[in-house]
Amino acid sequence: MFWAMLLEAFRAIGANRLRSCLTMLGMVIGVAAVVLMLAVGEGARVTVKKQVDALGTNIFIVLAGFQNTSGVRSGSGSRHTLNATDAQALAELPGVTGASPVVNSYIQLVAGGRNWNTMVMGVNEQYSQVRSWETASGRPMDALDVQSASRSVWLGQTTARELFGAEDPVGRTLRLGAAPFTVEGVLAVKGQSLDGRDQDDTALTPYTSSQRYLSGSPFRGMVRMIMLQAESAEIMPALEEDIRALLRERHRLVDPSQDDDFFLNNLSAVMASAEATAAAMTLLLGAIASVSLAVGGIGIMNIMLVSVTERTREIGVRLAIGARRRDILTQFVLEAMLVSLTGGLLGLLLGAGGAWLVAAVWRTSTVVAPSSLLLSFTVSAGIGLFFGFYPAWKAARQNPIEALRFQ
């Protein structure tokens, strides 16, 4: 019975080819729009996720405090309130997997005939753990490098390429400003940061070396920033309080009315909001695309209503020779679903193709998630059912006598 009805549905669709194709087109466009928009949104989400992962997971950043001179407040780091021993103390807090001071300075690097200006970051041996940033070749920084303030440098991929081209920089000597350093390793590719900066355009040295040979700071041992990593996202709110308490204690801020002399940023929160923004964008794009899907559904309903009217007499004959109402209902719902599912499948292909094209032409990342394909398929079946039901119901409840008399 089902197969006979399906065959009949195919025939009915085939009998009005142009009309069926145009109706299907509505569904094709609707589903394609949804698939494409979800792919674009998902692509954005994945990109953000990648940047979040590139930064490292569960990161806190402690910045040195500001100066308040007669009410004029300078920016963060204008006072030297953090030092390297703060970083050591923070690293020993329970729940902290690593902490590293970060001392940045822009320095001209010179290797043989080439030179390149880049941000040199003075860090300790825990930095690679905190940032989840492996050494691609050479050896990683160790505690001895930091203790001895060795003249060692680790190059980011971009810096290595600019200075050494295709050659292997490990073991080569270069000058950071005036000081000669040896390249001990090349860092793994890190990609863009959230603000679009190339994170591979950098070089790392032990912060001790950086302070001794590069910055020439009068406040030796002071750092502007400490980066630390928590064991898990769950403990971050509690850990934030521990960090604050520890730093206040170390900085002798015993009176609760005194302001912190540092800034504590929970980067997870920033990342979470960035991810939430991307997710909201996906939802918005999906919602806009759903409108066209709904329009496609209305197109199906419209055509099914026309089809039911045209076939009134046929419905009358079927009822007269013993079709029950649900037989008629099933037949027309089946027909509507066949149109919507065929349109949906074509739309799926078109949407996936479109996503590929968008990725290729605009060089943005689009991700066609299997779940979005499943969703579109289910939704198009649902649309066929929903928008096909009313016309089918109208067909099924016809009076056979009047239907037979219909010209």
Residue 324 makes contact with another protein by CB under 8 A: yes
Residue 198: DSSP 8-state: B
Contact flag: residue 125 with another protein (CB under 8 A): no
Residue with smaller CB distance to another protein, 389 or 406: 406
Instruction: Examine residue 404 and tell whether it contacts another protein (CB under 8 A).
Output: yes
| Residue 19 in the binding site for another protein (CB under 8 A) | no
- Does residue 12 belong to the site contacting another protein (CB under 8 A)? yes
22 touches another protein by CB under 8 A? no
| 401 makes contact with another protein (CB under 8 A) | yes
Choice between 8 and 125, CB closer to another protein? 8
Instruction: Tell me whether residue 7 or residue 269 sits nearer to another protein (CB atom).
Output: 7
- Minimum separation from the CB atom of position 15 to another protein (A): 6
Q: Exactly one of 6, 8, 177, 270 binds another protein (CB under 8 A); which one? A: 8
Q: How far is the CB of 293 from another protein (least distance, A)?
A: 30
Q: Count residues near another protein (CB under 8 A).
A: 24
Residues numbered 288 to 317 that lie near another protein (CB under 8 A) are 313-314, 316-317
Among the listed residues 321, 361, 363, 370, the single contact to another protein using CB under 8 A: 321
In whole angstroms, how close is the CB of 327 to another protein at the nearest point?
A: 6
What is the smallest separation between the CB atom of 316 and another protein, expressed in angstroms? 8
Closer residue to another protein, CB minimum distance, 8 or 242? 8
Task: Check binding of 319 to another protein (CB under 8 A).
Answer: yes
Residue of the chain from 327, 359, 367, 406 that contacts another protein (CB under 8 A): 327
Burial classification of residue 211, based on how many CB atoms lie within 10 Å of its CB (0-12 exposed, 13-18 middle, 19 or more buried): buried
Stretch near another protein under the rule CB under 8 A, chosen from 117-125, 260-268, 270-278, 321-329: 321-329
3-state secondary structure the chain: CHHHHHHHHHHHHHHCHHHHHHHHHHHHHHHHHHHHHHHHHHHHHHHHHHHHHHHCCCEEEEEECCCEECCEECCCCCCCCEEHHHHHHHHCCCCEEEEEEEEEEEEEEEECCEEEEEEEEEECCCHHHHCCCCEEEECCCCHHHHHHCCCEEEECHHHHHHHHCCCCCCCCEEEECCEEEEEEEEECCCCECCCCCECCCEEEEEHHHHHHHHHCCCCCCEECEEEEEECCCCCHHHHHHHHHHHHHHHCCCCCCCCCCCEEEEEHHHHHHHHHHHHHHHHHHHHHHHHHHHHHHHHHHHHHHHHHHHHCHHHHHHHHHCCCCHHHHHHHHHHHHHHHHHHHHHHHHHHHHHHHHHHHHHHCCCCCCCHHHHHHHHHHHHHHHHHHHHHHHHHHHCCCHHHHHHCC
Q: Which of 131, 190, 224, 318 binds another protein (CB under 8 A)?
A: 318
For the bound state, the minimum distance from the C-beta of residue 303 to another protein, rounded and expressed in Å, comes to 17
Hey, which residues between 95 and 124 contact another protein (CB under 8 A)?
none
Residues engaged in binding another protein (CB under 8 A): 1, 3-4, 8, 11-12, 15, 313-314, 316-327, 400-401, 404
